[in-house]
A and B are shown apart, each in its own frame.
Chain A
Amino acid sequence: MNFLERINITKEILIFTAILIVVPFVLQNEFHFQLAILAMLNAMICIGLNLLMGYAGQVSLGHGAFAGLGGYIGAILTTEYQFNPLLSILSAVIFMGIFAFIISKPILKLKGHYLAMATLGIGVIINIILNVEYEITGGTDGMAVDSFILFGFELFESMHWYIVVALLLVFTLWIFDNLIKSPFGRILRSIRDSEKAADCVGINVSFYKSVVFTISVVVATIAGSLYGFFSGFISPQEASFNHSIELVVMVVLGGLGRLYGAVIGATILTVLPQLLTAFEEYETLIFGLIIIAIMIFMPKGIVSLWDKILEFKERKFAKSA
C-alpha cells in the first residue's frame, strides 16, 4: 500500500481539489463567487444527507429545516449574545447533535413513506417556530447576522470565504470517504439492504441509524450556520420545506449512495436555475424538463456518467492491449 492509499487520497478527491483551485480564476464577479460558495455549502449538506439516504437507506424531508435551525442558532448566539462565531457554530452543532439523536430514536423506527412524513412534519414545525418567534428570529423577514470574525481577522472578501468553504468541503469529502470505506460504512449499507441481516450478525440497527442521522444533521448545521455568516442574513426560507426538497433532489439527481453524486447534484441544482434566467418566464419549465430528462436517461444519477467514461476507457485499453 503506498502512502496516498494509506491516507486515502483518491484520484477523485485530487481531481475535485484541482477543480476547486481552478474555479476562482473562471469566476468573474461577486455574484459568481456567491453562487459557488452556496453550491459548496449545499454540497456539504448533501454529503451528509446522502450518507443517510444513499448509504443507510433512510429518507429525510427535513434536512433543509435542520440546516436552517442550526444556522439560526449560530446567528443568534453571535448577533444577540456576542459569542465568538466559532463558539456559536460549535454550540449549534452540540445542540443540533443532541436534538437529532433524541428525535432519531422514535422517528427512525418508521420506514419508507412514514419516515418521510415524520421528518417532513418535524421540518414544518421548525419552520413555523422560526416564523412565529419573531422576537428572537425576526419572523418572516429574517434577521441580519454579524460578520464572521476569527482571531481578529474578519472574513469579508468572497475569495476568503471561498477558500474556507472549499477547504471544509474537501475535508468533509475526505472523512466521509474514510467512513464509507470502513466497517462502519459497510454496516450502513447492510442496514439499507436488509435490517434483518444486520440484526442477526449482532449490529444494533437502531443505534447506527441514530448515529448516521445525527452525523448528517451535524454536517447540515455546520453548513447552515456558515451560510448565515457568509450571506450576513438568514430567513425562514433557508429552513423551508422547499429547501428540504431541493436537497433531496440534489442527492437523487447526483446519484444516491455515491459520494461525489451529492456534490455534483448540489452544484448543478444551485447553478442551473441561474443559467436559465435567460429564458425568463420559461425558466421553471425548462428547469423541470432538464431534471426529468436526467432522471430518465441517468436513473442512477449524473455521477453514473463517470462510470461510463471509466468503462469506455477500459474497453479501449482492452482493445489496444
Chain B
Amino acid sequence: MLKVRSVTKKFGGLVAVDNLSFDVKKGSIHSIIGPNGAGKTTLVNMLTGVYKLDSGTVFLDGGDITNIPTNRLVHRGICRTFQNLQVCDNLTVLENVLLGFDKYMSKNLLKTFFRSQKILDDEERYFQRGMHLLSLIGLEEYAHKEAKNLSYGILKRLEIIRALATGPELILLDEPVAGLNTKETQEVSELIKLLVQDDVTVILIEHDMKMVMDISDTITVMNFGQKLAEGTPQEIANNKDVIQAYLGNEGHHG
C-alpha cells in the first residue's frame, strides 16, 4: 500500500536519509530498525510531512503523498505517534481520544456559538465511540482524569488509541515502548496486534528487539541513512551485515 521511492533528506552536509526505497504491505506490521542516528525518526518525519524531501516520492495506494502537510495526511489515512509523547496534559483522557475524531466533527462557528443540535449529536456519538476505544485497552475508568495525572505507560497507549480514532489505514509508531517496563511493553504489543486486526497497517520504529522480532511481518534495517537489509524477522536475525552494524566488527572475533 505504501511505496517509498528513493527518498533523500540532507541536513547541511549530513545525509540523514540517503536514497531509501521500500514497500509496506497492506495489513502488515513493518518494522524499521537500526542503530541510533541511522535516520529512523527522520524517515518518519519525512513520511508524515514534517520534513520536506530533498528528492524521492512516497505513494499511498497509488496516490502521490510526497510532502503533504501532517494535518492533511490524516485525511488521506495516515496518522502517527511520537517518540517523545505528545499528549494534551490538561485534557482528560477521553478528550484526548475525541481529538482523534476531530476530522469527523462539525466545527462550524455559527453552529458552535448557538449550540446547534448537530454539535451536540456529534459530541454524543463520538463520546460513545471514544469510551468504546478506551474500553479496548481497559482505560474507561480513567476517561475523565486529566492526562497529566496518568503514568507514562498509559499515555503511550493513549497516544496510539488517539491515532486509531482518526480512522487511519496506516499508523506510524515512533518508539512506542521506549522507557516502558516489561508489562507495559506487553500491553503495547497487544494493542499493536489489535490495530492490525482492525485492518490498519503499522510501521513500527523500535529499539526493543524482542518485541520487534515477535510481532513484525517485515523488518527493514537502516544504517547511516541507507537500507542495510530487509526481510522477515528470521532472515534479519541471521543477516551478517545486520549483526555487524549492531555489534561492530569485534562481534566476529568473540
What residues of chain A have their CB less than 8 Å away from a CB belonging to chain B? 6-8, 175, 178-179, 182-184, 186-187, 189-190, 192-194, 196-205, 211
Q: How far is the CA of A194 from the CA of B96 in the complex (A)?
A: 11
A-B contact count (CB 8 A): 100
A187–B107 CB distance below 8 A: yes
Q: Are B122 and A194 in contact (CB under 8 A)?
A: no
A182 to B81, CA, bound (A): 25
Contact status B112-A184, CB under 8 Å: yes
Chain B residues within CB distance 8 Å of chain A: 48, 70-72, 74-75, 79-82, 86-91, 95-96, 98-100, 102-103, 105-107, 109, 112-115, 119-120, 122-123, 162-163, 165-166
Most buried by B among A189, A193, A198, A202: A202
Q: Which of B70, B91, B115 contacts A186 (CB 8 A)?
A: B91
Known contacts A199-B71, A200-B48, A204-B71; A183/B87 CB under 8 A: no
Query: A8-B115, A201-B79 in contact; A196/B107 too (CB < 8 A)?
Result: no
User: Given that A178-B113, A178-B115, A184-B112 are known contacts, is A197 also in contact with B102, CB under 8 Å in the complex?
Assistant: no
Tell me if A203 and B123 are in contact (CB < 8 A): no
Pick the contact of A189: B88, B102, B113, B115 (CB < 8 A): B88
Contact across chains for A194 and B114 when beta carbons are under 8 A apart? no
- Known A190-B91, A194-B86: A183·B98 in contact at CB below 8 Å: yes
Name, among A183, A193, A196, A204, the residue most crowded by chain B CB atoms within 10 Å (CB to CB): A183
User: With the chains together, A204 CA to B163 CA distance in Å?
Assistant: 16
Is the pair B86, A200 in contact by a Cβ cutoff of 8 Å? yes
Among candidates B100, B106, B112, residue contacting A201 with C-beta atoms closer than 8 Å: B100
Q: Are A7 and B71 in contact (CB under 8 A)?
A: no
Smallest Cβ distance from B33 to chain A, in angstroms? 23
Name the one of A8, A184, A196, A211 contacting B86, with C-beta atoms under 8 angstroms.
A196
User: In the complex, which residues of chain B have a beta carbon less than 8 angstroms from the beta carbon of A199?
Assistant: 70-71
Closest B residue, CB atoms, query A204: B71
- Chain A residues within an 8 Å CB radius of B91: 186, 189-190, 193
Known: A178-B113, A178-B114. A205 touches B87 (CB 8 A): no
Q: A182-B119, A200-B70 are in contact. List 4 more A-B contacts (CB 8 A).
A: A178-B112, A193-B88, A197-B96, A202-B75
Q: Are B105 and A183 in contact (CB under 8 A)?
A: yes
Residues of B within 8 A of A197 (CB): 86-88, 96, 99, 162
- By Cβ-Cβ distance, the 7 closest A-B pairs, closest first, are A202-B74, A193-B88, A197-B86, A175-B113, A202-B103, A196-B86, A183-B105
Least CB distance from A1 to B in Å reads 8
- Verify A211–B109 contact, CB threshold 8 A: yes
Report the separation of the CA atoms of residues A184 and B119 in the bound assembly, to the nearest whole angstrom.
10
Can you list 23 A-B contacts (CB < 8 A)? A6-B115, A175-B113, A179-B112, A182-B107, A182-B119, A183-B122, A183-B123, A184-B112, A186-B91, A186-B98, A189-B88, A190-B99, A194-B87, A196-B82, A196-B86, A198-B99, A200-B74, A201-B162, A201-B163, A202-B72, A202-B75, A202-B102, A203-B102
The docked-state distance in angstroms from the alpha carbon of A178 to that of B112 is: 6
CB neighbours (8 Å) of A182 from chain B are: 107, 112, 115, 119, 123
B89 & A202 in contact (Cβ 8 Å cutoff): no
Inter-chain CA distance A240–B114, complex, in Å, is 34
Q: Which residues of chain B are within 8 angstroms of A7 by Cβ–Cβ distance?
A: 115
B90 touches A189 (CB 8 A): yes
- Shortest CB-to-CB span from B54 to chain A, Å, is 22
Measured in the bound complex, the distance between the Cα atoms of B163 and A211 in whole Å is 25
Is the Cβ of B99 less than 8 Å from the Cβ of A201? Answer: yes
> Is the Cβ of B95 less than 8 Å from the Cβ of A186?
yes
Name the residue on A nearest B49 (C-beta). A199
What is the CB-to-nearest-CB distance from A204 to chain B, in angstroms, rounded to a whole number? 5
Rounded to whole angstroms, the CA-CA distance of A197 and B107 in the bound complex is 18
Cα distance A203–B165 when bound, in Å? 14
Q: How far in angstroms is the closest Cβ of chain A from B149?
A: 14
Q: Is B89 touching A193 in the complex (CB atoms < 8 A)?
A: yes
Inter-subunit contact B107/A200 (CB<8 Å): no
Q: How far is the CB of B91 from chain A (nearest CB, A)?
A: 6
* Nearest Cβ on chain B to A175's Cβ, whole angstroms: 4
Distance (whole angstroms) from the CB of A108 to the closest CB of chain B: 15
